[in-house]
Every structure is written in C-alpha cells, then in structure tokens.
A and B are shown apart, each in its own frame.
Chain A
Amino acid sequence: SAVISQKPSRDICQRGTSLTIQCQVDSQVTMMFWYRQQPGQSLTLIATANQGSEATYESGFVIDKFPISRPNLTFSTLTVSNMSPEDSSIYLCSVVWGEAFFGQGTRLTVV
C-alpha cells in the first residue's frame, strides 16, 4: 500500500484568494490524481498529474483555476485560485499502487 500525506487538512479562506494543497507519497509513483468532493456529492476527478509533463484536466476543470505542479515522483500540489464559495469542497489526492489510495483530504471553506 501507499501512504499519502496531504496538507493542510482544512482551511477557511476569503473569496478571491488562492490556496495551495500539498500531497506527499511515501513511494515513487508515475501518476497522481486530484479529486474534488463537494458537499453531499461523490468524488469527481479534477486532473491527472504526471511528473515532467503538463497535468491532464477533466472536462469542466481548467489550468488557470486549478494549477498543478509535479516536481518529482513523490510530490504534487494543487492550487485553487481566485476562490469563490462554490469552491468549498474536500480536495483529495490519490495514487494507484495496485488499488487507488487516498490522502486524508483538505476541507476547504470559502467565505
């Protein structure tokens, strides 16, 4: 299995600001995935982050709003930019190591 450390675990942010979420994995992995879980909803894939290349974004998500970095095989960041209350969600990073494993999530509240 893979151990994933994600931080911050929660934050309350003002609208119009940005938040960067960090994800550290205890093993080298090719792909890291970022998901969003809106209140009462299931997980929706935002993007796939590959080391050494641009992230691949799913329909409805754009790089200007959710820029992603992947500087090495064990680390990635997701930034939520120019936040609005609609961005209030849990953000999760995930890796596939046989099965998919998840970080503890970042609970973001935008006020």
Chain B
Amino acid sequence: EDQVTQSPEALRLQEGESSSLNCSYTVSGLRGLFWYRQDPGKGPEFLFTLYSAGEEKEKERLKATLTKKESFLHITAPKPEDSATYLCAVQQTGANNLFFGTGTRLTVIP
C-alpha cells in the first residue's frame, strides 16, 4: 500500500534560518513525487515534480531533492511569506491520481 509520511508536522523558523522538510514514501512503482504549497483557505499550489533518484529542482528559496526512499524540501533563508503548509504527494506508475502526505505546517517568524 502506498504510504507518504511527512516530518515534522509543524516547524517554526526565524526569518533567515534555513531548514529542511522530509517526505518519506513507499510506493510500488514511482512515476513522480510532487511538492505543493497550501495557504489557508486555498487549494494546493504546485511547486515541483521529481521523477528519479538524484534529481534536484530549485525555485527561489526552495530546493527539492529525491532519493529512492525520501524527498527533502530545503528552504534557504526563509521569509515570513514562505509560511504555509507544504504537501508531498506520490503518483504510482500507471495511475493518474496522487497520494498525499499530511503536510508540514511551516511558520516563519520575522
């Protein structure tokens, strides 16, 4: 059975304090691993897709990496506007839907 575990559940950072969010996954045949950002009252906003171990993608202060068992979302010098819940999801080979983790709620304090 597909499983996605995100840690920590919640993270408070001072502005400028870099850190990483973890997403551990178990899936029979990974087509892709996805990172989303979700602000309160809104739908998830797409950030990255990673397809194979060793792949990395960057966008502004965010960098996502992938191994065969987990993915990390690194946040460098975060700002208060980075505060949100970050969701990780996997897509199984041959499937169209995504299987989501429970998310990490990030708060960046000025």
A41-B102, A42-B87 as given contacts; A105 in contact with B43, CB under 8 Å = yes
A13: Cβ under 8 A from any B Cβ:
no
Tell which of B13-21, B61-69, B76-84, B93-101 binds the partner. Answer: B93-101
B44: Cβ under 8 A from any A Cβ:
yes
Chain B residues with CB under 8 Å of A103's CB are 43
A96-B96, A100-B98 as given contacts; A43 in contact with B44, CB under 8 Å = yes
Which A residue sits closest to B99, measured CB to CB?
A45
Cross-chain contact B34 with A99 (CB below 8 angstroms): yes
B41: Cβ under 8 A from any A Cβ:
yes
Count residues on chain B whose CB falls below 8 Å from chain A CBs: 20
Chain B residues with CB under 8 Å of A57's CB are none
Cα A1 to Cα B45 with chains together (Å): 11
In this complex, the interface size class of chain A, counting residues with CB under 8 Å from chain B, is 20 to 34
A92: Cβ under 8 A from any B Cβ:
yes
Which of A42, A101, A105 has the most chain B CB within a 10 Å cutoff?
A42
Cross-chain contact A105 with B42 (CB below 8 angstroms): yes
Chain A residues with CB under 8 Å of B91's CB are 100
Give the distance to chain A from B19, nearest Cβ to Cβ, in Å: 21
Cα A92 to Cα B89 with chains together (Å): 15
Cross-chain contact B96 with A99 (CB below 8 angstroms): no
Cross-chain contact A42 with B103 (CB below 8 angstroms): yes
Cross-chain contact B42 with A48 (CB below 8 angstroms): no
Cross-chain contact A92 with B43 (CB below 8 angstroms): yes
Cross-chain contact B100 with A43 (CB below 8 angstroms): yes
Cα A102 to Cα B45 with chains together (Å): 7
A31-B96, A42-B101, A48-B96 as given contacts; A100 in contact with B42, CB under 8 Å = no
Give me the 3 closest cross-chain CB pairs, A-B, nearest first.
Answer: A102-B43, A42-B100, A42-B102
